Amino acid sequence: MPVASAMGFSVTYFSDEAGGEGGFLLFIMLVTIGLIGMIDGFGTMGSARGTRYASVRAGVVLLALLSVVMLAAAVRILLSPRQTPTIPPMPPAQPPQS
């Protein structure tokens, strides 16, 4: 989503003009969602296991496991090498031929 736009020019959090904050924000959001999901999923599994008439179902297991996957994705995004765009060199200007 654009952060700001003016005169046909748009800036997002992933553009260079915004300082490249998009990767950091994505990392923080994935860590937050992953940690909340892990705490909720594994916590529910632990509390349901000790109950006599309750059993752990697939939804809670998927929540816990996919939260671990999201947390791993966040770490991978943080540790991925930054690639700077390379601009090919401009050919030397030729003098006009007559």
What SS3 state is found at 11? strand
pLDDT of residue 64: 87
pLDDT of residue 91: 72
pLDDT of residue 82: 64
Whether the Cβ atoms of residue 42 and residue 64 lie closer than 8 Å to each other: yes
For the whole prediction, is pTM greater than 0.85?
A: no
pLDDT tens digits along 9-25: 777 777 666 666 777 77
Phi-psi bin for 15: left (phi > 0), alpha (psi -120 to 50), beta?
Answer: beta
Of 44-48, 75-79, 90-94, least confident by mean pLDDT is: 90-94
